[in-house]
């Protein structure tokens, strides 16, 4: 009985006995420990511990009679309050963890990555982390189509970030980039003979995505600034 409801309550932190007792009280409306025990099959000795816990957490309340009667609060009211509480908690937790994450990523480092699946994951993460600008040099369009990176790029464009893409004229999927990018964001250049991404002028991914794929990632300011300036030079010098 009530197995589906019990599972759902256990998913949000109830023990099995707590879930059975609470559902029984919801069904009864108002009840004594004996009545709850009879319907839920939870031993009365356990209910003396369980019901005060549920009351403390706001799911039920009690009336001081002889014997004490327990009443379930309106489930909609309780669950709505719980959702607001956890939404607030999750938002705070996300902000704090993201701060730690960004702090860790701000350490100076150089990372070498091999293998196409790992490289694709790094590219997608780099694009998603962008908050101001993305500069791209693309020598081979294949992974952008085959691995759906073109969709990630479209999402970045929809966020209204500054985007510059230099793409090799030999890429057979240039039309895909034409569709999602404005003319002011895309240039065809025979100098685009390597893969390079500059995120927010703070982090660089550079390498090759074909034959034996390998990339190097930098967030060392001296290196990032040099590569950023070089990409700017390629962009402005391209007719």
- DSSP assignment of 55-86 equals HHTTSEEEE--SS-EEEEPPHHHHHHHHHHHH
Q: Rounded to the nearest 5°, which phi and psi values hold at 148?
A: 70, 15
Q: What is the pLDDT of residue 67?
A: 87
Placement of tokens 């003319």 in the chain: 183
Q: Is 31 helix (H, G, I), strand (E, B) or coil?
A: strand
C-alpha to C-alpha distances, 164 to 208, 226, 235, nearest whole angstrom: 19, 17, 8
Q: For residue 221, what pLDDT is reported?
A: 85
pLDDT at position 107 over 70: no
- Distance, C-alpha 229 to centroid of its chain: 32
Q: How would residue 233 be classed by pLDDT, with cut points 50, 70 and 90?
A: very high
Q: Name beta bridge partners: 205.
A: 197, 217
* pLDDT for 105: 60
Identify the pLDDT of residue 232: 92
Q: How large is the C-alpha radius of gyration of the chain?
A: 29
Quote the tokens at residue 14: 């109830």
User: What is this structure's pTM?
Assistant: 0.56
CATH number of 107-237: 3.30.870.10
In the chain, CATH 3.30.870.10 sits at 107-237
* pLDDT tens for each residue of 204-226: 999 988 778 898 998 888 888 99
User: What pLDDT is recorded for position 229?
Assistant: 93
User: What's the pLDDT at 218?
Assistant: 86
pLDDT band at 104 (very low <50, low <70, confident <90, very high): low
Instruction: State the chain's mean pLDDT as an integer.
Output: 89
Question: Domain 3-74 carries which CATH code?
Answer: 1.10.10.10
Give the CA angle between residues 178, 179, 182 to the nearest 5°: 65
pLDDT recorded at residue 156: 85
- Continuous H helices in 106-180: 116-129, 142-146, 149-158, 174-180
Residue 72: is its pLDDT beyond 80?
yes
pLDDT over 90 (residue 51): yes
CA distance 166 to 187: 5
Q: Which of 87-96, 105-114, 180-189, 206-215 is predicted least confidently?
A: 105-114
Q: What is the average pLDDT across 31-45?
A: 93
Extended beta strands in the chain, E state: 30-31, 60-63, 69-72, 110-114, 133-138, 162-167, 186-188, 195-199, 203-208, 214-218
Q: Is the pLDDT of residue 2 over 80?
A: no
Of residues 238 and 9, which shows the higher confidence score?
Answer: 9
Q: Per-residue confidence at 108, pLDDT binned at 50, 70, 90?
A: low
Mean pLDDT (whole number) for 147-160: 88
Q: Over pLDDT 90: what percentage of the chain?
A: 48
């Amino acid at each position: 009985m009530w197995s589906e409801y019990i599972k759902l309550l256990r998913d949000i932190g109830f023990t099995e006995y707590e879930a059975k007792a609470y559902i029984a009280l919801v069904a009864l409306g108002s009840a004594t420990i004996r009545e709850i025990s009879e319907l839920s099959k939870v031993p009365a000795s356990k209910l003396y511990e369980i019901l005060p816990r549920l009351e403390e957490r706001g799911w039920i309340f009690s009336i001081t009679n002889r014997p004490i009667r327990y009443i379930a609060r309106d489930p909609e009211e309780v669950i709505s309050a719980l959702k607001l509480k956890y939404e607030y908690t999750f938002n705070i937790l996300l902000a704090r963890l993201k701060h730690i994450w960004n702090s860790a990523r701000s350490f100076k480092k150089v990372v070498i990555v091999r293998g196409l699946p790992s490289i694709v994951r790094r590219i997608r993460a780099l694009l998603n982390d962008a908050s101001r600008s993305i500069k791209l040099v693309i020598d081979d369009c294949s992974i952008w189509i085959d691995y759906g990176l073109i969709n990630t790029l479209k999402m970045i464009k929809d966020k209204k970030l500054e985007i510059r893409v230099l793409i090799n004229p030999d890429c057979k999927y240039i039309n895909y980039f034409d569709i999602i990018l404005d003319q002011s964001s895309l240039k065809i250049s025979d100098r685009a003979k390597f893969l390079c991404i500059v995120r927010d002028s703070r982090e660089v991914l550079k390498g090759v995505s074909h034959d034996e794929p390998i990339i190097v990632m930098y967030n060392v300011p001296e290196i990032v600034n040099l590569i950023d300036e070089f990409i700017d030079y390629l962009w402005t010098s391209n007719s």
